[in-house]
Amino acid sequence: MKHTSYLALKYLVVLAWSAFVVFPFLWMLSTSFKSANGVTGGATWLPWLQYEPSTAGWSALFGGPGGVNILRPYLNSVIVTLSASALSLVLGTLAAYGLSRFTFRAGPVRNGDITFFFISQRIMPPIVLAIPFFLMLKTLGLLDTLTGLILVYIALLLPIAVWVMVDFFNSVPRGLDEMAWMDGCTPVVTFLRVILPNAMPGLVVAGMFCLIFGWNDFFFAFTLTFTKVQLLPVSIVALNSSVTPWWALSAAAIVSVAPLAVLAFVVERFLSRGGLAGAVR
């Protein structure tokens, strides 16, 4: 009896929390199919359900009346986020392994200082970086290009990757490296075949961080591009006008959240199914 009531309580809590989390998405979904009337007028009896469906919001995303075509910005965002994340992950992982395993010395500067130097890049507010980035890209002729954005995002994502990975590599026992050397492994093979598989969870975490940050950034995408190249967050904001198009913004929010939601779902499955079982102590 006690067990049953405990179970009921448990489900109640979980249910309440789920509703709290899922509700905004449902609201977004229903709003995206409403017309101006449906949003402002409200329902007589059944809120969120009683309205006349309209595809105006969705058509606005693809160049419909009062909208912009988000296909191109969407693709741009995918390209920039994926390439910047992948490059940051590769460079960051290599740097982190070096910082975790080898001793660097430059005067009073030690490994810990170098690691901190990486992180310190993220301490200042982004606005401080905007002007230097702008000037640098201008000099390089990379303003308003995908390459320029990718480079800037790498500068922003690399510290995160290094920071997360240094921690994970430090938790992989050094004895493992030493054993691999004794087994006749070269340092590169040791890193790739022995240490990296053990730092898999770290790679997933760092990768998630990079993707989320890269995908959601508005500020740099806004300041460093003008007309030729546009990223998704910027084009969503461009949907806005004197009359706020809730329906179109909702539809845009859904398409921009979707990839991350799917990713989170897959990673969660992967982690809980034991895709990484045994990779950590």
278 binds another protein (CB under 8 A): yes
- Binding another protein by CB under 8 A: which of 28, 194, 255, 260? 194
Terminal alpha carbon distance of the chain: 39
Task: Give whichever of 119 and 176 is closer to another protein, judged by the CB atom.
Answer: 176
Of residues 83, 73, 74, 88, the one with CA closest to residue 209: 88
In whole angstroms, the minimum distance from the beta carbon of 111 to another protein comes to: 18
Contact by Cβ (8 Å): 220, 152: yes
36 binds another protein (CB under 8 A): no
Site string for another protein, 147-186 (x = CB under 8 A): --------------------------x-xx-xxxxxxxxx
In whole angstroms, the minimum distance from the beta carbon of 47 to another protein comes to: 52
Site string for another protein, 71-100 (x = CB under 8 A): ------------------------------
273 binds another protein (CB under 8 A): no
Which one of 69-77, 229-237, 253-261, 273-281 is the stretch in contact with another protein (CB under 8 A)?
A: 273-281
Give the footprint of another protein on residues 199-218 (CB under 8 A): 200
- In the complex, which residues of this chain contact another protein (CB under 8 A)? 173, 175-176, 178-186, 189, 194, 197-198, 200, 278-279, 281
